[in-house]
Amino acid sequence: MSSPIRLLVVDDHNLFRRGLIALLAQHAQLQVVGEAGDAGEAQRRAAELQPDIILLDNHLPGVRGVDALPGLREASPRSRIMMLTVSEDEEDLAAALRHGAHSYLLKTTEGDELLAAIERCMSGESVLSPLMTAKLVSAFKSSTRAAPAAAVAADEADALSPREMEVLRELARAASNKEIARTLSIAETTVKIHVQNILRKLKLSSRVQAAVFASERGLVAKVA
């Protein structure tokens, strides 16, 4: 049996934090190793615990979660950071992705969806709440410091094979590797290879940027 995913929960609302920890504790594959109520404490705990995943609220006292991201990444470079917030603001989304968040989830996410998102994030995927996926393109367009997919030459998409184009369209819908495999009737390991090839050919660094690339070019609408 594989080791449980080690989590650090960062939220200033004690009642929500305790409830979230209780929810996560119900799953044997998850282990909450620490908690924090502000950015400073979160950085200290991250450095001490080196968790696999940091669940980070944005509305923290003193320093916002998105502004704490660089410090957390420095304190625990191998941790994957998932924003878990009430903010539906596209500027917060842009700032989170720009500063190194691996995923962005809303607190309205159901428990089983959160569990699935944690597992996907741990496997290297970028996970967004469906509502935020729709705001992804405008968020990157408004970001001057990000490396948006629009910077990629349009003709570079021609280098993709027909199957890679199908995978790219699914990425634009924020589909997981498992969902893509089921939709396209291919193995999940094959999906991973296609995703790696897509990122390499388009000179992108993440699934998020690939989704932006596809959305900006209307590739989703081209699906029959």
Q: Residue 105: beta bridge partners?
A: 84
For residue 157, give the DSSP letter: G
pLDDT profile of the chain (224 residues), mean per 10: 89 94 93 95 96 95 90 94 90 83 91 91 84 66 45 61 90 83 91 89 80 72 41
Domain boundary among 129, 164, 199: 129
Same domain, 111 and 172: no
pTM of the model: 0.68
What pLDDT does residue 55 have?
A: 97
Say which amino acid occupies 96.
A
Same domain, 119 and 157: no
Q: What is the CATH number of the domain that holds 182?
A: 1.10.10.10
CA atoms within 13 A on the CB side of 112: 0
Report how many domains make up the chain: 2
Question: Is position 116 within any domain?
Answer: yes
Q: Residue 70: beta bridge partners?
A: none
Please choose, from the candidates 94, 96, 91, the residue with its C-alpha nearest in 3D space to the C-alpha of residue 55: 96
Question: Is position 138 within any domain?
Answer: no
Please choose, from the candidates 155, 161, 151, the residue with its C-alpha nearest in 3D space to the C-alpha of residue 209: 151
Which two tokens mark 72? Answer: 């957390």
What pLDDT does residue 38 have?
A: 94
Question: Is position 139 within any domain?
Answer: no
How far are the Cα atoms of 1, 21, 31, 166, 212 from residue 6, in angstroms, in the given order?
15, 12, 5, 34, 30
In the numeric block, the tokens 């699935």 are attached to 116
Question: Is position 10 within any domain?
Answer: yes
Same domain, 125 and 195: no
Same domain, 115 and 166: no
Q: Cα–Cα distance between 182 and 46 in angstroms, integer?
A: 36
What pLDDT does residue 148 have?
A: 44
Question: Is position 191 within any domain?
Answer: yes
What pLDDT does residue 178 have?
A: 86
Which residues form the domain of 108? 5-129
Question: Is position 81 within any domain?
Answer: yes
Q: Are strands 103-106 and 80-85 parallel, antiparallel or unpaired?
A: parallel
